[in-house]
Amino acid sequence: SIVGWTMEWGTEVGYQHWWADNLRSNINAGWNLHQIPGQIVGAAQAAAMNKQLVTAHANLIWNPVSSVDIGIEYMWGQRTVVTNAHGTENVLISKMAFRF
């Protein structure tokens, strides 16, 4: 039988800046490390489970009126799985929210 344990570490830091009463930006970054032996989860899961995840976000959000948010965000991420395969992504996200 396989006996094992896993350990996970992570951190995230962020900052919000108000350019004006109705215009703000957020910037944040995060890092997560999961120490998990591949023999505990098997080959199929080892190819899908995160070993390390690093992300960074920056956005600009405008409130034309108090009940509406319109924003755009850039996100960068890098993922490594238990088998050490990895990939990087760059994403541009838009947002429109209405509060009632």
**pLDDT of 32:** 97
Assess whether pLDDT exceeds 60 at residue 53.
Answer: yes
The confidence band for 54, taking pLDDT boundaries of 50, 70 and 90, is very high
State the pLDDT confidence band at 51, using cuts at 50, 70 and 90: very high
Name the DSSP letter for residue 31: E
81 and 47 in contact (C-beta within 8 Å)? Answer: yes
pLDDT for position 2: 55
Concatenated DSSP letters for 4-67? ---EEEEEEEEEEEEEETTEEEEEEEEEEEEE--HHHH-HHHHTTSEEEEEEEEEEEEE-SSTT
Model confidence at 5, pLDDT cuts 50, 70, 90, reads: confident
Among residues 90, 88, 97, 82, the alpha carbon closest in space to that of 37 is found at 82
Global pTM reads 0.81
Q: Give dist(CA 27, CA 56) in Å, integer.
A: 8
